[in-house]
Structure 1
Amino acid sequence: MFKAYKLAKVNERDAKIFLDNIVNRMPEVYEKIESGYYLRLYNEDKEAWNIYYDILINKKTSDYKDIAWEIVKDCKVN
């Protein structure tokens, strides 16, 4: 609603279009909420980030240096 208000201060037509788009999309959003779609996305994303951070925590700093050095060596121009 704040965005609609800000748009209306500049151009009421743009604010109306924005609000019309929201109204048209609400049934789809409501259906996704009811079906647990957004919760599933959140949990999948959370799991992926947890795996990512677990990998980082279990890596040794020396491993990063070796990996970085290999990347640098591959980038050298002859």
Structure 2
Amino acid sequence: MGRETLVKRADSAIGNATALILGRAGADVAVNHVPGQDLAGRVVREIAGFGILALAQAHAGDASQEDTTGG
């Protein structure tokens, strides 16, 4: 496929399925998730098992809470 993708909220069922579909299709996948959620880590390990580059990045904070995002 030769593409790079970012999947937001890979700790949700829809985000997880989307990341797996893209990884199976050959895309390098970066996933964004809520800290402490194991589902995003599992999807990254599964995608990496396809021989595809995969990484996870936790949300820095809650955008609805100004003090957690530094804004």
The structure that is strand-richer by fraction is 2
TM-score of the aligned structures, taking structure 2 as reference length? 0.27
Higher relative contact order at CA 8 Å, sep ≥6: structure 1 or structure 2?
2
Of structures 1 and 2, the larger Rg is shown by 1
TM-score of the aligned structures, taking structure 1 as reference length? 0.26
